[in-house]
Amino acid sequence: MSGAAQAGPRSPRLLIGLAAAAMAILCGLGAWQLQRREEKGAFLARLAAQAEAPPASLPARERWAGLDLDSADLTRVTASGEWLPGATATVRVAMVRPEGADRRPGGFGRYLIAALRLPDGGVILVNRGFAPEEAQAALPAPSGPATLTGILRKPEPSNAFTPAPDPARRDFHLRDPKAIASALGVEAAPFMIEAERGPDRQALPVGVDIRDMIARVPNNHLQYALTWFGLAVTLAGVLAAFLRAGRRAGAGAGGRSDL
């Protein structure tokens, strides 16, 4: 029996094995997307609950070193203290311009960062909000005592495309409290506070709004899951059609006469 004849019977088994492995991967990706959908739903529910609940107290200074920043991220908190004179920085950002009746500023601009000293001597960096490029330089630096409500945020991670910061000018591209605090010459908390937006939604700098944040977070994981499951079903159908066609061709060849 020739090598080609021996390879024929094994080829369908190899094809079935490869297709089964591919379908298992596709189904696994679909199941993972369903899990991500549940996680995203819980995340959005937590934000919605915090938007309606009173803010929590800022974590005590002695807890900062061991604070689980992933769990604390996006917690709504309140803080009181006094702005440190001259301790300001900026973070470059591009904001999507709102549509419809909400005429908040957008486009290229900066987050305005300032250091707030707490009554116990600790320092936190506060993202006061967004200002367009052409307006941020004219805004006065904060001074004196302040009480604010905002969102606790963990450091923003960098990637291969993140531009280098300019510490000498206190100009950054990430909300990185460690790097910013170093440029300001202060020791600060390992997190930042993003100040909430005031009643005047167009007043600069434009702070964060939890409800707006919820509206901008997509939850398309069910669509992604159906796509992966659909690809698995399609692959199964293609494999079944191929095997049926092979059996018919084999049956036809066996029924022909060589005479």
- pLDDT, tens digit, 9 for 90 and up, residues 50-99: 777 889 999 999 999 999 998 888 889 999 999 999 999 999 998 776 65
Task: Please state whether beta strands 171-172 and 76-95 pair in parallel, antiparallel, or not at all (unpaired).
Answer: parallel
**Tokens 């018919």, residue?**
248
- Say if pTM beats, i.e. exceeds, 0.75: no
**Inter-helix orientation angle 3-52/221-255, to 10°:** 160
| Predicted local distance difference test score (pLDDT) of residue 182 | 96
Which letter does DSSP use for residue 259 in this model? -
pLDDT for res 255: 54
Alpha carbons 66 and 44: distance in angstroms, whole number = 26
pLDDT reported for residue 156: 93
Q: What is the pLDDT of residue 199?
A: 75
Contact by Cβ (8 Å): 125, 192: yes
Residues of the chain with pLDDT under 70: 1-11, 97-106, 201, 252-259
Please write the tens of the pLDDT for every residue from 202-225. 788 988 888 777 777 788 999 999
Interior/surface letters 161-190, b for 16+ CB within 10 angstroms, e for the rest: eeeebeeeebebbbbbbebbbebbeeebbb
pLDDT at residue 169, as a whole number: 95
Cβ distance 84 to 123 under 8 Å?
Answer: yes
pLDDT of 48 reads: 84
Residues contacting 173, CB < 8 A, separation 6+: 91, 92, 162, 163, 164, 165
pLDDT value for 253:
65
Domain definitions of the chain by residue range: 13-40+220-255, 54-213
